[in-house]
Amino acid sequence: MNSQSIYKVGLVMYALVIGFFGVNHFLNGTGFQNTVPSFIPGGIFWVYLTGAALIAAAISFLTGKLTRAAGLFLAIFLIIIVLTIHLPALMHSTGSPTISIALTNLVNDTGLAGAALMIAGKGN
């Protein structure tokens, strides 16, 4: 398998994960609503908007259309989530299960943002 084929397999896998997260925002919108910071008005609106954005990014990656822009926007979105949701959750966590979940979410979305930047760097 050459490097281009490996990249395409990885891109499809990544797009499926991002698409799953997007669909999950619609299936569990009210659950995600509690994660929207209280200083941001609109609650559930942002959950559905981000779900749609995640699905759009996944479609972009799968179709090869606007992958650079989608990768950049996705990375920015994920870093915003890390800074506004996961980092505050980590700083306010008490006890090891809560700290572990908050830290896992922070590291997970940071890694996903890094992968989105790699896609943007290679995309059109």
Query: What value does the mean pLDDT of the chain take?
Result: 91
Measuring CA to CA, which residue among 74, 83, 62, 60 is closest to residue 13?
Answer: 62
CA 33 to chain centre: 16
pLDDT value of position 51: 95
Q: How many CB atoms lie within 10 A of CB 119?
A: 25
The domain spans of the chain are 3-122
DSSP assigned state of 83: I
> Which pLDDT tens digit goes with each residue over 81-102?
999 889 998 898 887 887 888 8
Greater pLDDT, 32 or 23: 23
Query: Rounded to two decimals, what is the model's pTM?
Result: 0.88
